[in-house]
Amino acid sequence: TEAGETIRATLFPGDGIGPEIAESVKQVFNVAGVPIEWEEHYVGTEVDPRTESFLTWESLESVRRNKVGLKGPMATPIGKGHRSLNLTLRKELGLYANVRPCNSLPGYKTRYDDVNLVTIRENTEGEYSGLEHQVVRGVVESLKIITRQASLRVAEYAFHYAKTNGRERVSAIHKANIMRKTDGLFLKRCREVAEKYPEITYEEVIIDNCCMTLVKNPGTFDVLVMPNLYGDIISDLCAGLIGGLGLTPSCNIGEGGICLAEAVHGSAPDISGKNLANPTALMLSAVMMLRHLQFNDQADRIHNAILQTIAEGKYRTADLGGKSSTSDYTKVVCDHI
């Protein structure tokens, strides 16, 4: 790799098992010759008043400058008044779409072998507004906010994604039969964008029916786009179909072209520091980051090495029923690159 091609990317190893699995990513990137220089930022133990969270202003600036990054799990700080670090990141960086490809992994057996779909979640509004109050004693309300702008933005991203990734269908998931105005607005924007993509089939599926179909016949879905809470629920449901969050990559698309790849599993404090963690989700997320950067050759090689290691089944971490350590598993992936 020539020096001039080197890309700077932000790395948030995160809490708990985060640093160990981030180390695995660094190793596979080295072996594959990925021309990335990491700018590493740790989540601290003191609240930065500028962000009101353990994430410092500098760490956010790093992503804004580099426009690309990778994030491990971040524990929500204990104690009143601390904002979740994940939510802080979404808000501060305007991470408007969470993208999760969900594919059955050959060789890793679950009840499903035909999952090949992508969930695209609106990531900034809806039920996550934080607006709640007590009306009178014993009566509380939460506000779900849907805007034209955020709906349009995520719909545009979903169709763009479908087109550039050779996908054929986009399903908008909703409950507009009940929430006619909010989910109705979301659907209107999806329809508007759908008209610009006549080559992509567009359909609308009610969330309860969607979840039933997902567990009966996930092969019927291709790209799913939806408001925040439905995305939260359905993306985890889909992860479950292929084996769980330890195997599911994700990436967040933010304002100004930011791409922040992210393992969405927890920080697993119980096994942290014990060389037992499964780095697969973070590695696969890093592959999404590489594709975003058009490092397709390295992305393919790393991706195939991970799939091959899992398919062979000899080296697996404990969460997948194996006996390998994080470092042994990582070494096998490196050998396969």
Ligand X SMILES: CC(C)[C@H](C(=O)O)[C@@H](O)C(=O)O
Using CB under 6 A, list all residues that contact ligand X.
84, 86-87, 177-178, 208, 232, 264
Please, which residue, 212 or 311, has the CB nearer to a second copy? 212
- The verdict on 111 binding a second copy (CB under 8 A) reads yes
The strand pair at 36-40 and 116-122 is best described as: unpaired
Please, which residue, 24 or 86, has the CB nearer to ligand X? 86
Give the sheet arrangement for strand 251-254, strand by strand: 36-40, 7-12, 68-71, 258-262, 251-254, 95-103, 116-122, 223-226, 169-174, 201-206
Q: How far is the CB of 15 from ligand X (least distance, A)?
A: 13
Backbone φ and ψ for 304, nearest 5 degrees, come out as -60, -40
Could you say which residues in the range 177-196 bind a second copy, by CB under 8 A?
177-182, 184-185
Q: Which does 86 bind (CB under 5 to 8 A by kind): ligand X, a second copy, none?
A: ligand X
Asked if 176 and 183 touch (Cβ cutoff 8 Å), the reply is: yes
Of the candidates 152, 157, 149, 146, which has an alpha carbon nearest to the alpha carbon of residue 97?
157
- Alpha-carbon gap, residue 262 to 239, rounded angstroms: 14
Q: Based on C-alpha coordinates, what's the Rg of the chain?
A: 20
Query: Which string of x and - marks every residue 127-166 that binds a second copy (by CB under 8 A)?
Result: xx---xxxx-xxxxxxxxxxxxx-----------------
- Alpha-carbon gap, residue 22 to 72, rounded angstroms: 7
- The verdict on 215 binding a second copy (CB under 8 A) reads yes
Query: Which string of x and - marks every residue 71-110 that binds a second copy (by CB under 8 A)?
Result: -----x-------x-------------------------x
Q: Which does 20 bind (CB under 5 to 8 A by kind): a second copy, ligand X, none?
A: none
DSSP letter at 259 equals E
Helix or strand holding residue 38 (H, E): strand 36-40
Q: Which does 83 bind (CB under 5 to 8 A by kind): a second copy, ligand X, none?
A: none
Q: How far is the CB of 98 from ligand X (least distance, A)?
A: 7
Please, which residue, 165 or 209, has the CB nearer to a second copy? 209
Q: Is 259 left (phi over 0), alpha (psi -120 to 50) or beta?
A: beta
Asked if 125 and 147 touch (Cβ cutoff 8 Å), the reply is: yes
Helix or strand holding residue 326 (H, E): helix 326-336
Q: How far is the CB of 50 from a second copy (least distance, A)?
A: 24
Which residues contact a second copy (rule: CB under 8 A)?
A: 76, 84, 110-112, 127-128, 132-135, 137-149, 175, 177-182, 184-185, 207-209, 211-216, 229, 232-237, 239-241, 243-245
